[in-house]
């Protein structure tokens, strides 16, 4: 048996409906982010039947395969070399470079379509967006003059690179830019896209009124907000689980025997001497997922992994060769395992 990732579609549907309702109560529409599960069809089909505004993905290849009547949004700011695909497969894209926006306009003109964009503002997280302090309002004029581009609004992304938590103060920087644009150009921006699952913790009445859109990935798949990593009551954190098989089970020491160099990945590891322990080898490895993203069941401790082997300590529980061990997963685990073609996807 190859390793399997089990996906509970009913729990996924419940999570999406639960959080979408909560967001709607705060007048926020939501784009569900599909990149973590590689935009796999069974999950996209669930999203198609939920009351979300659209589906967002960072990869063009995923947008290309998504079949939906909802709007498709490209999350990663486009490379200038891929603008023709952006026009072909995305209705909306997030952007921060005027050179790319001009090119999007050219291709949209050729295809005789209007492409919608959200202009990204960096509020300090230091990933994509025009840095809030350097915002030059002339860019709005230039975008408005592009006949095949529609400026839907502005947006930001937080708690990704710089781990900046969305707060009232941080959002005030975005509000100021929004108000200045609207006053200067006598327009109303349709969309203020306030971020990702790290904004969920503000939903208890603390999210500023001017934010009317969030782009949610982890919140849906793990039922948690990501500013503080807390589970959301009423949501599921076990939609995705990993089932792996024991391929070796032996008592061995905890310290390698012999002269010690570097491991298979060129690292010098530290080994703690716990004497002889029961060690199991499982049929999953770094090629599929990094072991720090796996949450073992009670009685099993993760020791480490190589490309194709996960080594665990069996502290308690009756296990034998061929037995399966089921792990819960965090975000990186779902991402890696859904991406690996060596892992069987089992929808339930
Ligand atoms: C621009 C952007 N928005 C939203 C998201 C969704 O983030 P999260 O999974 O934390 O909700 C991501 C990452 O997937 C992203 O890159």
Q: Tell me, using a 6 A CB cutoff, whether residue 166 lines ligand 1.
A: no
Q: Note whether residue 295 is domain-resident.
A: yes
Q: Note whether residue 137 is domain-resident.
A: yes
Q: Whose CA is nearest to atom 2 of ligand 1?
A: 75
Q: Candidates 196, 220, 223: which one to mutate for ligand 1, based on the most atoms within 8 Å of Cβ?
A: 196
Give the model confidence (pLDDT) of 41-59 as tens digits.
Answer: 999 999 999 999 999 999 9
Using the mean position of ligand 1's atoms as its centre, give its distance from the Cα of residue 24 in Å.
19
Q: Note whether residue 233 is domain-resident.
A: no
Q: Candidates 15, 30, 31, 33: which one to mutate for ligand 1, based on the most atoms within 8 Å of Cβ?
A: 33
Ligand 1 atom closest to the Cα of residue 197 is 11
Q: Note whether residue 235 is domain-resident.
A: no
**Residue environment code for 84-109, b if the CB has 16+ CB neighbours within 10 A, otherwise e:** ebbbebbbbbbbbbbebbebbbebbb
Ligand 1 atom closest to the Cα of residue 196 is 11
Give the model confidence (pLDDT) of 91-123 as tens digits.
Answer: 999 999 999 999 999 999 999 999 999 999 999
* Shared domain check, 180 and 47: yes
Ligand 1 atom closest to the Cα of residue 128 is 1
* Shared domain check, 301 and 197: no
* Shared domain check, 266 and 122: no
* Shared domain check, 247 and 130: no
Q: Tell me, using a 6 A CB cutoff, whether residue 219 lines ligand 1.
A: yes
Ligand 1 atom closest to the Cα of residue 35 is 14
CATH code, domain carrying 189: 3.20.20.10
Confidence label for 1 from pLDDT (cuts 50, 70 and 90): confident
Q: Tell me, using a 6 A CB cutoff, whether residue 156 lines ligand 1.
A: no
Q: Whose CA is nearest to atom 9 of ligand 1?
A: 217
Give the model confidence (pLDDT) of 231-268 as tens digits.
Answer: 999 999 999 999 999 999 999 999 999 999 998 889 99
Give the model confidence (pLDDT) of 173-207 as tens digits.
Answer: 999 999 999 999 999 999 999 999 999 999 999 99
Q: Note whether residue 63 is domain-resident.
A: yes
Is residue 35 among the annotated active site residues?
Answer: yes
* Reduced 3-state DSSP string for 261-305: CCCCCCCCCCCCCCCEEEEEEECCCCCCCCHHHEECCCCEEEEEE
Ligand 1 atom closest to the Cα of residue 215 is 4
* Shared domain check, 72 and 190: yes
Catalytic residue among 11, 35, 72, 178: 35
Q: For the chain, what is the domain count?
A: 2
Q: Whose CA is nearest to atom 8 of ligand 1?
A: 217
Give the model confidence (pLDDT) of 137-182 as tens digits.
Answer: 999 999 999 999 999 999 999 999 999 999 999 999 999 999 999 9
Domain region containing 171: 8-222
pTM, two decimals, is 0.96
Name the domain boundary from 189, 222, 255.
222
Query: Locate tokens 């729990």: which residue?
Result: 11
Q: Note whether residue 152 is domain-resident.
A: yes
Using the mean position of ligand 1's atoms as its centre, give its distance from the Cα of residue 72 in Å.
14
* Shared domain check, 60 and 180: yes
* Shared domain check, 264 and 125: no
* Shared domain check, 307 and 196: no
Q: Tell me, using a 6 A CB cutoff, whether residue 221 lines ligand 1.
A: no
Using the mean position of ligand 1's atoms as its centre, give its distance from the Cα of residue 309 in Å.
30
Q: Tell me, using a 6 A CB cutoff, whether residue 196 lines ligand 1.
A: yes
CATH code, domain carrying 318: 2.40.37.10
Q: Candidates 62, 120, 197, 217: which one to mutate for ligand 1, based on the most atoms within 8 Å of Cβ?
A: 217
* Shared domain check, 42 and 166: yes
Q: Whose CA is nearest to atom 5 of ligand 1?
A: 196
Contact 152, 31 (CB under 8 A): no
Using the mean position of ligand 1's atoms as its centre, give its distance from the Cα of residue 35 in Å.
9
* Reduced 3-state DSSP string for the chain: CCCEEEECHHHHHHHHHHHHHHHHHCCCEEEEECHHHCCCHHHHHHHHCCCCCEEEECCHHHHHHCCCCCEEEECCCCCHHHHHHHHHHCCEEEECCHHHHHHHHHHHHHHCCCEEEEEEEECCCCCCCEEHHHCCCHHHHHHHCCCCEEEEEEECCCCCCCCCCCCHHHHHHHHHHHHHHHHHHCCCCCEEECCCHHHHHHHCCCCCCCCCEEEECHHHHHCECCCCCCECCCCCCCCEEEEEEEEEEEEEECCCCCCCCCCCCCCCCCCCCCCEEEEEEECCCCCCCCHHHEECCCCEEEEEECCCCEEEEECCCCCCCCCEEEEEECHHHHHHHHHCCCCEEEEC
- Specify the pLDDT at position 212: 98
The torsion angles phi and psi of 45, rounded to 5 degrees, stand at: -60, -35
Contact 19, 12 (CB under 8 A): no
Q: What are the C-alpha distances in Å from 312 to residues 192, 221, 291, 301?
A: 46, 26, 10, 5
* Shared domain check, 265 and 202: no
């Amino acid at each position: 048996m190859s390793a399997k990732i089990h996906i509970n579609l009913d729990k996924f549907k419940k999570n999406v409906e639960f959080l979408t309702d909560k967001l709607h109560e705060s007048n926020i529409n939501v784009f569900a982010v599909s990149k973590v599960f590689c935009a796999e069809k069974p999950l996209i089909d669930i999203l198609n039947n939920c009351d979300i505004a659209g589906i967002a993905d960072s990869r063009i290849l995923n947008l290309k395969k998504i079949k939906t009547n909802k709007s498709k949004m490209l999350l990663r700011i486009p490379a200038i070399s891929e603008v023709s695909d952006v026009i072909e497969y995305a209705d909306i894209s997030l952007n921060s470079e005027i050179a790319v926006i001009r090119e999007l306009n050219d291709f949209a003109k050729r295809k005789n379509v209007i492409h919608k964009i959200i202009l990204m503002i960096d509020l300090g997280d230091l990933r994509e967006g025009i840095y809030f302090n350097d915002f030059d309002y002339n860019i709005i004029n230039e975008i408005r003059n592009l006949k095949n581009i529609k400026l839907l609004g502005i947006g930001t992304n937080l708690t990704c690179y710089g781990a900046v938590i969305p707060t009232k103060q941080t959002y005030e920087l975005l509000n100021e830019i929004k108000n200045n644009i609207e006053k200067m150009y006598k327009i109303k921006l349709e969309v203020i896209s306030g971020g990702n699952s790290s904004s969920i913790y503000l939903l208890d009445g603390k999210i500023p009124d001017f934010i009317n859109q969030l782009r949610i990935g982890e919140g849906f798949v793990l039922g948690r907000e990501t500013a503080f990593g807390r589970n959301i009551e009423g949501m599921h954190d076990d939609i995705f689980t990993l089932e792996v098989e024991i391929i070796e089970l032996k008592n061995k020491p905890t310290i390698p025997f012999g002269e010690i160099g570097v491991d298979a990945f060129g690292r010098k590891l530290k080994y703690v001497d716990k004497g002889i322990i029961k060690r199991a080898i499982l049929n999953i490895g770094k090629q599929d997922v990094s072991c720090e993203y796996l949450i073992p069941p009670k009685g099993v401790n993760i020791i480490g992994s190589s490309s194709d082997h996960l080594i665990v300590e069996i502290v308690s529980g009756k296990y034998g060769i061929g037995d399966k061990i089921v792990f819960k997963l965090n975000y990186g685990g779902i991402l890696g395992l859904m991406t690996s073609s060596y892992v069987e996807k089992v929808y339930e």
